[in-house]
Amino acid sequence: MFSVFRDLVRYNIEFTIGLVLVGIMVVFAGLSFFAPMDPSLIYMAPPDQPPSTQYWFGTNSRGQEMFWQLSAAFKNSLQFGITVAILSRIISITVGLAAGYIGGWVDRVLMFVNDIFVAVPIFPILVLFYFVLRNNMDSFTMALILACFGWPFDARLIRSVALGLKHREFTRHAVFAGMSTRKVLVEEHLPYVMPIVFATFMNNMLWSIGMEVTLAVLGFTNINNPTIGTVLYWANSHSAMVVGVWWWLVIPVILIVMTFLGLFLLAMSMNEYIDPRSRLRRMGA
C-alpha cells in the first residue's frame, strides 16, 4: 500500500498536486473544530470588513468572519461528500459484485434496475424531494437521496471487473474449497475492485458536493447550515458583487475550484494508475 503511494508521488505530478490541494482543504476544514465561535451565529463581527490581518478573509454583511465561516462550510460539505460516497459505494459494490459473479437472472434484474437509475434525471427529483420535505430536508436525508442515485455507473464498472474474475483459477479453487458465495465475494473479489472503488470515491464526492452547491445556491436546502452552497446563497441574497463585498464571493469560489481540481486530479491519476498500459507509459518503460 505504501509503495503504491510512493510510486504515485514519484511518477505522477497530477497526483502530487491533487494531494497537496486536497490536503490544504482538509486542514482548512479541520480548523473549524477550533473555531472561536459557532459558525451559524450572525453579527459576531463588524460587517463588510475587507480582508485584513485581523479578519483574514474579511467579514460578510451578516457579521460573520469569513475565515471561520468557510472553514465550517468546507467541513460540512466534505463530510456530506464523504457520507454520500461511502453509502453509494456500499450499494455499487454489492450490486456490481453480485451481478457479475452470480450472473443469470440476478444479473439481468440488477442491470435492468441499474439502467433505470442511469436514465432518471436526478436534479428534478431532488427539487421534488425538497418541495415535499421543505425544512425536514437536512443534510443526512439529502445524502441518503443522493446515495440512492449515485451508484449505477460504478456498479456497472465493478460488474465488468467481477465478470472477468469469475472465470479465474482462484475463484474456482475457492468454490471447490467450499466457500460460500458471500465469502467468495467479500474475501476473494472485493480486494480486486478496491482500486476502482477508491478512484470512483473521489468522482462521487465531486458529483455530490456539486449537487449540494447547486441546490443550496437556489435556497433548496437548510440555508442556516453553513456549507459551500449556502455561503454562496447568502452572498447572492445580499448582492455581494453589486455592493462591492467581492471577498464574500471570490474567496469561496477560489477555494471551491481548488477543492474540485484537487479531488479530480486524485481521481484521474488513480484511474490512470489502475490501467497498466498508461502506468507503464508514464514510468517510461
Partner 1 sequence: MATLFLPARGEVFALVAPIETRWQLKLKDDWPRMHSYLWFAGKRLLQLIAVIFFGVSAMFFVTYLSPIDPVEQVLGRLASRSNLSPDAIASTREALTAMFGTDQPMMAQYFNFWTRVLRGDLGASLMAFPTPAMELVMRSMPWTLGLLLTSTFITFVIGNVMGGLAGYFQNNRFFKAFGILAMGLQPIPYYIVAFIILIIFGFLWPVLPISGGFAMDVRPSWTLPFILSVLQHSLLPAFSLVLVGLGGWFIGMRALVSNIVTEDYVTYAELAGVKRNTVVASYVMRNALVPQITALAMVIGGVFSGTIITEQVFNYPGMGSLLVDAVNAGDYSTVLAVCTVSITAVATAIFIVDMLHPLLDPRVRAE
User: Where on the chain is the footprint of partner 1 (CB under 8 A)?
Assistant: 112, 115-116, 118-125, 127-134, 136, 153, 206, 209-210, 213-214, 217-218, 220, 232, 241, 249, 253, 256-257, 260-261, 263-264, 268, 277-278
Give me the least distance between CB of 158 and partner 1, in Å please. 16
Q: Are 255 and 248 in contact (CB under 8 A)?
A: no
CB of 191 to partner 1, least distance (A): 25
The three cell numbers of residue 13 are: 505530478
Q: How many CB atoms lie within 10 A of CB 237?
A: 12
Q: Which is nearer to partner 1, 97 or 209 (CB)?
A: 209
Closest CB 19 distance from partner 1, rounded Å: 15
At position 251, the amino acid (one-letter code) is I
Given the complex with partner 1, which of 79 and 271 has the nearer CB atom? 271
Looking at residue 80, its amino acid is: F
Instruction: Copy the grid coordinates of residue 147.
Output: 446515495
Give the span between the Cα atoms of 75 and 53, in whole angstroms.
Answer: 23
Shortest spacing between CB 97 and partner 1, in angstroms: 21
Q: Which is nearer to partner 1, 43 or 140 (CB)?
A: 140
Which lies closer to partner 1 via its Cβ, residue 52 or residue 278? Answer: 278
One-letter amino acid at 269 equals: S
Beta bridge partners of 59: 65
Shortest reach from residue 118's CB to partner 1, in Å: 6
Q: Which C-beta is closer to partner 1: that of 150 or that of 188?
A: 150
Choose between 43 and 123: whose C-beta lies nearer to partner 1.
123
CA-wise closest residue to 259 among 228, 230, 233, 232 = 228
| Cα(262)–Cα(268) distance, integer angstroms | 10
Least distance CB 206 / partner 1 (angstroms) = 5
Cα gap 278→284, rounded to integer Å = 10
Q: How far is the CB of 86 from partner 1 (least distance, A)?
A: 20
> Which CB, 41 or 127, lies closer to partner 1?
127
Q: How far is CA 175 from CA 88, 138, 162, 166, 170, in A?
A: 29, 45, 15, 10, 9
Cell numbers standing for residue 158:
465493478
